Amino acid sequence: MKISKIIIYDEPLVPEIQINKLRKFLQDTFHIDIEIRKNFFVNKEDSIFQEISTTRIFELKKPFSKHIPTELEIQMEKENIDNSQNLEKILYDGFEFQKIISKFIPANENDQRILNLVFTNKLTCTFDESDFRYHARALIGTNPAIISTTGIIEAPAKPKEYYLDLMTNFNNESEEKIKKKYKGKFLEYNDSRLSEVVEGYLLQAIVYYETGEPFCEDKECRLYNSHWQKELLYLQSNRKLCKNHEEIIRKIINQS
């Protein structure tokens, strides 16, 4: 393996990821040293909060331009370590976010043999040149890799009928009622299925870093890039890899 150690920064505000279970999963799969740390932003100098605030996105249909944050926004970033208040409406440019995280990785751990995986409840997005707008993203590779727990819930699409119901019934049924009707069909905040879904993203992050290949084309493989919640939930509860990726992972483990 290119990597000999993985450092995972937890997102304690999302306990459903079950960080210790994830550690065991990675240890059992790759047989390498896995270290778990607190939220990445704990005990960081103040400048990180200022810098992260500059990556906020306000216009979905415009490419990134650096935001000049207010004092209040910077303060909010700091407070968001311990609470997710007001966080749900904030979008961040994922690549800019990752660059800043990268700057604050301790120098002796900014090493290609150490893979840094950072969980965050902030919603990372990337600008897509093909339709010229931002889209939510669950995973920003490579090292450090960012996994957005909010992105996992928001990026893969919910059933089409759900959106239709929302659009056509908005006056009759409340959003909560509509959500109830589709319960189980997509991930929600505090969802107990989050941990096994995260396993799939961890595998993607590691395979991407090791091979440079982000996703699998095989719709039955855990490394497939799910565009729908339905696909995501099916693949990650099924937990299967395609033959090709089983082999790739075997090779990754045996390489030293």
Residues 75 and 58: their CA atoms lie apart, in Å, by 18
Least Å from the CB of residue 159 to Zn ion: 25
Shortest Cβ 246–Zn ion spacing (Å): 8
**DSSP codes of every residue in the chain:** ---SEEEEE--TT-GGG-HHHHHHHHHHHH-SEEEEES-TTTT--THHHHHHHTTEE--TTS--------HHHHHHHHHTTT--TTGGG-EEEHHHHHHHHHHTS-GGG--TTEEEEEEESSEEEEEETTTTEEEE-SEE-SSSEEEEHHHHHHSSBPPHHHHHHHHHSTTTS-HHHHHHHTTTSS--TT-TTHHHHHHHHHHHHHHHHHHS---BS-TTSTTB---BHHHHHHHHHHT---HHHHHHHHHHHH--
Does 211 interact with Zn ion (rule: CB under 5 A)?
no
Residue in the block written with tokens 């959106």: 163
Which residue of 148, 245, 249, 252 would you call a contact of Zn ion, by CB under 5 A? 245
Least Å distance between CB 3 and Zn ion?
20
**How many residues of this chain bind Zn ion (CB under 5 A)?**
6
Binding mask 213-232 for Zn ion (x = CB under 5 A): ---x-x--x-x---------
Q: Using the rule CB under 5 A, which residue among 32, 81, 100, 242 binds Zn ion?
A: 242
Tell me the closest approach of the beta carbon of residue 215 to Zn ion, in angstroms: 8
Query: Is the Cβ of residue 32 or residue 242 nearer to Zn ion in the bound state?
Result: 242
| Residue closer to Zn ion (CB basis): 100 or 242 | 242
| Smaller CB separation from Zn ion, 34 or 242 | 242
Nearer to Zn ion, 115 or 221 (CB): 221
The residue among 19 and 249 lying less far from Zn ion, judged by its C-beta, is: 249
- Shorter beta-carbon distance to Zn ion: residue 64 or 215: 215
Question: Minimum distance between the CB of residue 118 and Zn ion, rounded to whole angstroms?
Answer: 25
Say if residue 159 is preceded by a cis peptide, omega within 30 of 0. no
The site for Zn ion (CB under 5 A) is made up of 216, 218, 221, 223, 242, 245
